[in-house]
Every structure is written in structure tokens, then in C-alpha cells.
Structure 1
């Protein structure tokens, strides 16, 4: 399962979805390798008239995208693309959210949408 975080500093979730300077992406592998990390800067998104569409294309393999804010139409487009947006307070540590998600994946109370993504 691939998860993205809208982040300018690589450590905290500190950005609005449509204006995030970068996305920190983590893949939960489900094996001893654990979590794989990749960063995608705004330059990787490219110039586009539709910033939301460009970000959706970039994040199309993700199951969840964390951000501080997201507009209603952008959230609807993410959901239609099979990506679930989650809003968290600005400054939330990425590592804390990774730990929460990892605990959730290991628990017997994993939400249906997460079970679907991890197979």
C-alpha cells in the first residue's frame, strides 16, 4: 500500500493538497523490508493548468494522501480516482502517522478500505 504526505520539510504534514511543494511517499511492503520511502518535489509534477489533476496523476498509485487542507472538489476527484484524502493539523509528524497506520495494519480492526488496498 502506497501512502503520500503533503510536506515542504519532509518531516511534517504542512501543506495544502493543491499547493504542496512535495509529497513524501511511503510504501508498506508487508514483509521484512518494511516501509520504502520516496520524495517527489513540485518540479516532478510539472507545470499544468490543473494542479489538482497533475497531482492526482502523480499520486495515482496511492491509497491515502495526507494533507492539511483540501478543497471539496479536489477531494471528490481524489476519491473518484480511488485515493482517500485525510486532513490532519499542520505540523503533524509524518513518522507519527506512519506508526499509527502501521499499528492499524497489524490490528484485527483494519478498516475495509485499507484491507482492500493491502490485498
Structure 2
């Protein structure tokens, strides 16, 4: 399972999806996680749909997107691309805390996560 985080410092989830200049991608394997890479998403695009499409392409093969904020249109587009959007529960929530929470959730996953886990096994 891969998670893309909208962050400026690779520590906190502190970026709006549409304004994010770089996504940091982590992978959860069994009960551990590791940093995979950062993806530049800094190209400025005027057209809203083109900009959102570009940002979604920057998520590469992530399963989950974690952001500080995301608009309704962007959220629908992200979901349509097969990525599950999540908003941080507090300002500057730590990436490490989120990853640990997701690992714990795997023991009794909510419905949206069950789909991701089934896809990971295939």
C-alpha cells in the first residue's frame, strides 16, 4: 500500500492538494513503512481541470492521498483515478503518526481499506 503525502517538510501533512509543490510517497509493507521517494509537482497550470489532472498524475501509483485540505471537485477526481483521498485530522499532523495509525487499522480495516488490501494481494 502506497501513501502520498502533501507536505513541505516530509514531517507534517501541511499542504493543500492543489497547491502542493512536492508529494512524498511512503509504502506500508506488513507492519512497517518506508519512504519511497518525493515527486515534484511544482508546474504551475492555469486551467483547473488540467492542474488537478497533473497533480493526480504526480501521485503515480499511490493508493491513498493524505492532505491538509482538498476541494470537492479535486476529491472526486482523485477518487475516480483510484486513489483514496484523506484529510489530516489536525493542522500539521505528523506523517509518522498517520503511518502508524494506518498499520494499526489494517488489523480491522474499514471498508475503503479492505479494497486496497485486496488489490495489494493481487
Aligned residues: 113
List structure 1 segments (4+ residues) > 6 angstroms apart after TM superposition. Answer: none
1:32-51 alignment, distance < 5 Å: 34-37=32-35, 38-43=37-42, 46-49=43-46, 50-51=50-51
Q: Aligned residue for 1:17?
A: 17
The question of whether the paired residues in 2 share the 8 Å contact of 1:60 and 1:83 is answered with no
For normalisation by structure 1, the TM-score amounts to 0.84
Look up the SS of the partner of 1:62 in the other structure: coil
1:102: Cα distance to partner? 1.2
For normalisation by structure 2, the TM-score amounts to 0.82
Question: What are structure 2's unaligned runs of at least 5 residues?
Answer: none
| CA deviation profile, 1:70-106 (whole Å, cap 9, x unmatched) | 111110011111111001122000000011011122x
The question of whether the paired residues in 2 share the 8 Å contact of 1:2 and 1:63 is answered with yes
Q: Distance in 1 between matches of 2:102 and 2:68?
A: 17
Q: CA RMSD in A?
A: 1.8
Q: Aligned residue for 1:6?
A: 6
Question: What are structure 1's unaligned runs of at least 5 residues?
Answer: none
